[in-house]
Amino acid sequence: MRISHEAIYQALYVQGRGALRRELTACLRTGRVLRVPRARTRKQGRPFVSPEIMISQRPAEVADRAVPGHWEGDLIVGLGSSAIGTLVERTTRFTLLLHLPRMAGHGQEVRVKNGPALAGHGAEAVRDAITRAIVTLPEQLRRSLTWDQGAELAQHARLKIDAGLQVYFCDPHSPWQRGTNENTNGLLRQYFPKGTDLSVHKPDDLEAVALALNTRPRKTLGWKTPAETLDELLRVSDTQGVATTG
């Protein structure tokens, strides 16, 4: 007899009762009480996503993590549609957090159709936040960004011009295609729990959390920190650049 992995997961979630259920939930980093399977009904993609910028067209160097400068991004959303943007570099796991404050009038004015996203994470706000973060980095760290098909990245064409960053989109309902970012978002939930108002966190708060993650040793990096790994790659790149021009 063969049993699928999905049946095993469902059994763990369904059979837990009372104290056992609470113990199981406490051991899960996600804190979920229901199983969320990967299989989803596939819907038509967003109109701003065209075939040439799908993840299938992404260069091979992105997948093998051999070249730094390729990022994965997403939003973590909290109470009242508050949000924080997350960017993670695939090779080093270096993390940047984007401050997305609510706009004036949020919760007070009636939402205007096709008007500005007062929650603070509309397409323009996210585009500008990514640009501000990315342009502070050396050019060799600004190669590509992989995102899901959320409407917050509808202005990807302008982002490419402003930040010099090629954008690729995952297939619909395929979060594992940006697994590095998904894993990082799970770690971030320890600092920004689900169901809390994320708008209370100021830029300094986000910098402190990003610093905590970037100075946290990772097994996948040989127990080096993302910050150390990034510094080493930049030093090697600078040395090669000097040797080439020397």
6-10, 202-206, 207-211 — which is least confidently predicted? 6-10
C-alpha 186/C-alpha 88 separation (Å) is 12
The predicted-structure confidence for 109-152, as pLDDT tens digits, reads as follows 666 565 567 778 999 999 999 999 999 999 999 999 999 999 99
Q: Is the pLDDT of residue 42 over 50?
A: no
Q: Which residues pair with 96 in a beta bridge?
A: 87
How high does pLDDT run on average in the chain?
A: 86
Q: Give the dihedral of Cα atoms 126, 130, 132, 138; nearest 10 deg.
A: -170
Q: Give the dihedral of Cα atoms 222, 75, 138, 141; nearest 10 deg.
A: 50
Domains and CATH numbers, the chain: 1-38 (no CATH), 51-245 (3.30.420.10)
Per-residue pLDDT, averaged over 84-90, amounts to: 98
The predicted-structure confidence for 212-231, as pLDDT tens digits, reads as follows 999 999 999 999 999 999 99
Q: Is the pLDDT of residue 73 over 80?
A: yes
Per-residue pLDDT, averaged over 57-63, amounts to: 94
